[in-house]
Amino acid sequence: MDKYLSFETESQAKAVLYRIEGDENEVANYANIDIIGTIYKGGEFDEEGNVIAAPIAMSGWHVNVSLVDGEDAEILAPFEVNPVTPERVWA
């Protein structure tokens, strides 16, 4: 089951998606995590790639998680979003 998530910050996302073990090693709580980060919309560029109108950063820190059997999604529920057109999807 695929989950599209939006957190307020990268730090908040890390606190939910990872845990610290041993000598402060980050360990993922889920097998399949796709960090998108900040999503930008719009913008206009000329033929040479120069910015005519800058893209606008959308609020939030975005992550996709594809759950495997046995992974608990309950903690993800408050961060779930339902994009009409996701930026990335699991193949």
> Which sign does the torsion angle of CA 15, 21, 26, 28 carry?
negative
Q: What is the reported pLDDT for 46?
A: 94
Tell me how crowded residue 72 is: count the other CB atoms within 10 A of its CB.
9
Residue 77 in this model has a pLDDT that exceeds 90: yes
Q: Does residue 82 sit in helix, strand or coil? A: coil
Q: Is the pTM of this model over 0.75?
A: yes
In this predicted structure, which of 7-11, 12-16, 84-88 has the lowest mean pLDDT?
A: 84-88
H-assigned helices in 1-91 = 10-17
User: How confident is the model over 22-29, as a mean pLDDT?
Assistant: 86
How does residue 87 score in pLDDT terms, banded at 50, 70 and 90? confident
